[in-house]
Structure 1
């Protein structure tokens, strides 16, 4: 997305369709509440949230005060103070999740699955951490101890995200896969952490062939040259995770509320979806698909 105007128009068109039915279906407590319009509309707030991840500035406060308030006053004439803007951000949680459904990629028959850790605090501060207290526990997957959540993802051969699920850090990588694979087809490539006879049979019932490397003590399974080549390149999803974490900044340890954590996560994911240059699996370049 090259233009701020283009980004805002895209989000504003979405909000005009999404916001009215969403508000009609919101549950109310029964108490009367004042429905005063905020200084920032929902589309403006979502635009600023996604723009922060596109600017690649490390801190939201620096982005808002140093760039938005100085250079975008004409585009956003009613900017509130930074603390007030942060209070508004949780309003974007549901719309951003719905927007991802609109922007996510489509299955092309070649999918790659993996999971990555999203730490919400440094390990030395686990005992003092309060934002996610009672919701999470320390987990030790195949890499190292961390305190946070786990992002399960599936991408297609173009590097586009086609499925996401967020779970506590101590959840097995294989557990969310049947739900994540609903609507997919073809072959799903993953690492050894997804080896499971039960999962293979479950995905086969959905029309998906699970292909993973084998452990040393397992009997060899015949693989085609195409399948072997894709298995060697399944680390493409690690490149996607690297861009999500280091460029789109979906992971940091400065969250002050669960709602703002979700907004930061979904905004970074959408910023990645809007990226023109994604890591891709060059099937023609490596002669995996015959040129016509």
Structure 2
């Protein structure tokens, strides 16, 4: 059962400590930005963005209309729809900060890595697409060509997200690995798309053991029973992507600005991190001496 009060308390507890730092950051780094004071607090703005991703609505206008009609008593004052969109887009950095804070202290000796495509439009509309042309590019996955971005995720055995990164659609997965695992020590399980002797050597210096299957034209690698078992459990990260896309509306073709697009992605990630109860878990096989 969804508890909106519990969700708001988690968000508000974070912003009680973070809000002053956040406003100082905006003043120092966005000197030309003039933000009109809102009647909603940062906590309430982020709360509404995440609540929408957790709801059964796939259209924010319908969700916000229902919110104003059924839950107006939870807020001191709710703005109009256009103003609410502006507030969420303006404070997408606050959503990013919350997402980053939820990933802290999730270290694990066993990690799984993969990426998923975030198409911003159908392939037939690529030449007409303009709103996200600054960050979206053509790329190819196992499912074919797409136009958009990629989300790279690092997951532990509890189904928790440890690290994420966004890239253009054409960026190779192996180029994002060092950024994702920076400061970590673990066994890293990945698919054949991450095969690279150079990357494996670089990660070994950091005490990260990259484990993948070998290709047919490569010399076979003898894996331990535990490593082979953990590699087979890599499908759990695909389950995570399915949850993000199916239950939390990660992919959208309705974004009209880069800020709005990023706000939607981080709201989906936060909704999964805070609200999802049955995360895809992996049983660890201990290595016998």
Q: Normalising to structure 2: TM-score of the pair?
A: 0.93
Alignment correspondent of 2:37:
37
Does structure 1 residue 204 correspond to structure 2 residue 193?
Answer: no
Partners of 1:194 and 1:110 lie apart in 2 by: 16
Deviations 1:255-279 (A, max 9, x none): 1111111111001001100122101
Matches of 1:183 and 1:30 in 2, distance apart?
Answer: 32
Q: In the TM superposition, what is the alpha-carbon distance from 1:93 to its structure 2 partner?
A: 1.3
Whether the aligned pair in 2 keeps the contact of 1:46 and 1:96 (CA below 8 Å) is: yes
Find the aligned partners of 1:198 and 1:256 in 2 and give their Cα distance.
40
CA 1:89–1:31: 2 relative to 1, 3 Å? closer
Segments of structure 1 that go 5 or more residues without pairing to the other structure are none
Match of 1:278 in 2: 279
Structure 1 residue 54, shift from structure 2 partner: 1.2
Could you tell me how far 1:97 is from its partner in structure 2? 1.2
The separation in 1 between residues aligned to 2:79 and 2:33, in whole angstroms, is: 25
3-state secondary structure, aligned to 2:74: coil
The C-alpha deviation readout for 1:82-117, integer Å capped at 9, x for no partner, is 111111112321111111122126121111000110
- Structure 2 portions without partners, runs of 5+: none
Task: Tell me the alpha carbon deviations over residues 181-205 of structure 1, each in whole angstroms, 9 at most, x when there is no partner.
Answer: 1122221000000000001001111
Q: Give the structure 2 partner of residue 8 of structure 1.
A: 8
User: 1:21: Cα distance to partner?
Assistant: 1.9
- Name the counterpart of 1:175: 175
Partner of 1:69: 68
Residue equivalent to 1:149: 149
In 1: Cα distance, 2:244 partner to 2:116 partner: 11
Q: Which residue of 1 aligns with 2:88?
A: 89
Superposed displacement of residue 16, structure 1: 2.0
Contact 1:173 1:193 in 2 (8 A): yes
Give the match for residue 103 of structure 1: 102
Aligned pairs for 1:210-229 within 5 A: 210-229=210-229
Task: Give the match for residue 239 of structure 1.
Answer: 239
Aligned partner of residue 25 in structure 1, secondary structure: helix
- What CA deviation, in whole Å up to 9, does each residue of 1:19-65 have, x standing for no partner? 212222333676695x6421221111100000011113111111111
SS of alignment partner, residue 157 of structure 1: coil
Report deviation, 1:10: 1.8
User: Match of 1:140, SS?
Assistant: strand
Runs of 4+ in 1 over 4 A off after TM superposition: 28-33
CA distance in 1: counterparts of 2:228 and 2:33, whole angstroms: 62
Decide which structure has greater helix share.
Answer: 2
Match of 1:255 in 2: 255
Whole-Å separation in 1 of the counterparts to 2:138 and 2:177: 22
Deviations 1:181-236 (A, max 9, x none): 11222210000000000010011111000000111121122211111111111111
